[in-house]
Amino acid sequence: MKSFLRAALFEPRLHGKLLNMLSLLEHIGSRKIMLSQMRKVLDTELLKHMAEETRHAFFFKHQAERFCGQPCADYEETHTLCAPQARIYFARLDAGITRLLGKNAAPRAPYLWVSFIVELRAGWFYSFYEQALQEAKIPLSLKSIMAEEEKHLQEMQRHLHELGVMNDLLCARVVTLETKLFTRLLTHLTQAAGARPPLEQPLHSRAG
Ligand SMILES: [Fe+2]
Ligand SMILES: [Fe+2]
């Protein structure tokens, strides 16, 4: 992870493309909340979660344009790092978690589990990224985004416990699935940045 970030942050245009990929992932997250919850009661917390993910997508897009030195009107590969692989990561995670939960899952369980695991990875990734930015002396701070992701993680964790669908076995399976998918995405990212290939990037230390 550190090797990839060092390589990506070294070159502003490459950094811009990474930022646009993060914008894409935040946008997909926000859209998934909307699509999966639109037929249910959109309470204040859900609307806030969706609005914050949309704002994160905007923040990263704005920074992407700053580093690329030109508008990044969309998420095409010309100005987005590994856009197809980022989409695949999210799509397979969503499908895999739905499959793991089975047909009799509570209606809200897929949303909560996908959000929980994505928040966990986001917090993990952004802390490495924040550290790399500081080391490279790049004036960009992720602190407010990290605080919001941490709050989302706690909310998802609380709802999973309240719903009675948080258990160690399921958590281990979801973490294993996400680790495999994220490591695959990171392998593509390191190739694109010309960095060393990654080892597996486990989440175990913070999960549960
Ligand atoms: Fe986010
Ligand atoms: Fe979040």
Tens of pLDDT along 107-157? Answer: 899 999 999 999 999 999 999 999 999 999 999 999 999 999 999 999 999
Q: How remote is the CA of residue 120 from the centroid of ligand 2, in Å?
A: 9
Residue 39 covered by a domain: yes
Give me the torsion for CA of 60, 86, 84, 59, rounded to 10°: -10
Q: Which ligand is nearest to the CA of 27?
A: 1
Residue 178 covered by a domain: yes
What is the distance, to the nearest Å, from the Cα of residue 193 to the centroid of all Cα atoms in its chain?
Answer: 19
Q: How many domains does the chain have?
A: 1
Can you give the residue range of the structural domain that contains 76?
A: 2-193
Residue 201 covered by a domain: no
Please, where are the H alpha helices in the chain? 2-10, 12-37, 44-68, 83-101, 109-135, 143-163, 168-193
Q: How remote is the CA of residue 123 from the centroid of ligand 1, in Å?
A: 9
Residue 207 covered by a domain: no
Produce one character per residue of 127-156: b if its CB has 16 or more CB atoms within 10 Å, e if not: eebbebbeeeeeebebeebbebbeebbebb
What is the distance between the alpha carbons of residues 118 and 136, in angstroms, rounded to a whole number?
26
Q: How remote is the CA of residue 155 from the centroid of ligand 2, in Å?
A: 10
Q: How remote is the CA of residue 48 from the centroid of ligand 1, in Å?
A: 12
pLDDT in tens, 84-112: 999 999 999 999 999 999 999 998 999 99
Quote the pLDDT of residue 134.
96
Quote the pLDDT of residue 20.
98
Q: How remote is the CA of residue 79 from the centroid of ligand 2, in Å?
A: 24
Quote the pLDDT of residue 55.
98
Residue 198 covered by a domain: no
Q: Give residue 204's pLDDT band: very low, low, confident or very high (50, 70, 90).
A: low
Q: How remote is the CA of residue 75 from the centroid of ligand 1, in Å?
A: 17
Q: How remote is the CA of residue 139 from the centroid of ligand 1, in Å?
A: 20
Q: How remote is the CA of residue 57 from the centroid of ligand 2, in Å?
A: 11
Residue 18 covered by a domain: yes
Quote the pLDDT of residue 196.
72
Q: How remote is the CA of residue 197 from the centroid of ligand 2, in Å?
A: 27
Quote the pLDDT of residue 198.
73
Residue 151 covered by a domain: yes
| pTM of structure | 0.93
Residue 156 covered by a domain: yes
Q: How remote is the CA of residue 67 from the centroid of ligand 1, in Å?
A: 20
